[in-house]
């Protein structure tokens, strides 16, 4: 299985959620417990490790008799199974991702869209704001723009061309991809290329990017469909990681939840929505859609 694997247990009837906890659903490596959180939805329990699992390592999952159904009936015995993570990709390949080149024009923009840019409330944008070929930018003021406004001018048009080039570059990367799927909240990502064939979300915990002491480390996340963060979730930088070196290539639209904290360059094929209070250290770049703001901060990251 992938190193970001989250073990699950499916029951044949509804269980008492109060009995599906980190005490009754455990994962160990040998005799060492794996830190993580347990959630229960429908009839499925999910164990989400706090950090990505070690490569090429066998783990043991266990459901104890402390797990009970709604009538108070316990499992007849502990349920135990094992799984093994895949071998690690070559360190040279993983660490060798080159940054996505944004281009001279695009590098000035904090927000760029194709159709419209709308704002409600006191958003603060640090960097240029552009729109092309659309012409409707609304909400400034009350929003504050600490940069230049470019609407259907040559700068915005060139930035849109740069965006298509950058988007295609990120989407076309193939060097040692690591599987990403579903909810990636609670995980820690090392430098490299991460690929999802569906949607991704950050919902069960915060996501950490750990550059492992390399300030030039690059992270590229390829997402085939939508990308969502839920309210209050954060992207955390560790080990020298920089928001400028995190590239989110979103095949559909991206939505940042209320008061969430996001890091990185978001390049969405369609639209980007920042719900109330969401903060982005990075860029919101919508290739063929709109950017919607609501009392947000968007700040171009430090190179």
Domains in the chain: ranges and CATH: 8-88 (2.60.40.1220), 106-299 (no CATH)
Return the ∠ at Cα 167 (arms to 163 and 170), rounded to 5°.
140
Which pLDDT tens digits describe the chain residue by residue (303 residues)?
Answer: 777 788 999 999 999 999 999 999 999 999 999 998 898 988 999 898 877 788 889 999 999 999 999 999 999 999 999 999 887 544 333 446 899 999 989 999 999 999 999 999 999 999 999 999 999 999 999 999 999 999 999 999 999 999 999 999 999 999 888 999 999 999 999 999 999 999 999 998 999 999 999 999 999 999 999 999 999 999 999 999 999 999 999 999 999 999 999 999 999 999 999 999 999 999 999 999 999 999 999 999 998
What is the phi-psi region of residue 121: left when phi exceeds 0, alpha when psi lies from -120 to 50, beta otherwise? left
At residue 96, the pLDDT reads 60
CA geometry: angle at 272 spanning 192 and 293, to 5°? 125
Alpha carbon 88 to chain centroid distance?
21
Quote the pLDDT of residue 88. 58
pLDDT in tens, 129-141: 999 999 999 999 9
Question: What predicted TM-score, i.e. pTM, was given to this entire model?
Answer: 0.71
Compute the distance between CA of residue 47 and CA of residue 210 in angstroms, rounded to an integer.
22
Q: What is the number of other CB atoms lying within 10 angstroms of the CB of residue 174? A: 8
110 close to 298: Cβ distance less than 8 angstroms: yes
């Amino acid at each position: 299985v992938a190193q970001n694997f989250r073990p699950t247990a499916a029951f044949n009837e509804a269980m008492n959620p109060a009995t599906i906890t980190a005490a009754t659903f455990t994962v160990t490596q040998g005799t060492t417990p794996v830190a993580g959180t347990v959630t229960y939805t429908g009839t499925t329990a999910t164990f989400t490790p706090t950090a990505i699992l070690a490569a090429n390592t066998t783990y043991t999952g266990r459901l104890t008799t402390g797990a009970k159904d709604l009538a108070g009936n316990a499992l007849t015995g502990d349920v135990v199974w094992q799984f093994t993570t895949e071998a690690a990709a070559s360190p040279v390949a993983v660490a060798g991702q080159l940054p996505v080149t944004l281009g001279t024009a695009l590098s000035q923009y904090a927000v760029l869209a194709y159709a419209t840019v709308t704002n409600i409330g006191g958003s603060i944008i640090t960097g240029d704001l552009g729109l092309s070929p659309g012409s409707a930018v609304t909400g400034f003021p009350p929003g504050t723009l600490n940069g230049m406004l470019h609407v259907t001018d040559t700068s915005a048009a060139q930035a849109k061309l740069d965006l298509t080039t950058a988007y295609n570059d990120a989407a076309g990367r193939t060097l040692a991809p690591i599987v990403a799927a579903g909810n990636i909240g609670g995980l820690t990502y090392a430098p490299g290329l991460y690929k999802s064939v569906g949607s991704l979300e950050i919902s069960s915990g915060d996501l950490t990017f750990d550059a492992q002491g390399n300030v030039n480390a690059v992270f590229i996340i390829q997402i085939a469909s939508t990308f969502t963060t839920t309210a209050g979730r954060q992207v955390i930088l560790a080990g020298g990681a920089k928001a400028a070196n995190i590239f989110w290539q979103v095949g559909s639209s991206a939505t940042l939840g209320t008061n969430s904290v996001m890091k990185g360059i978001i390049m969405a094929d369609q639209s980007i929505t920042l719900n109330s209070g969401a903060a982005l250290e990075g860029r919101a770049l919508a290739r063929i859609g709109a950017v919607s703001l609501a009392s947000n901060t968007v700040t171009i990251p430090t190179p």
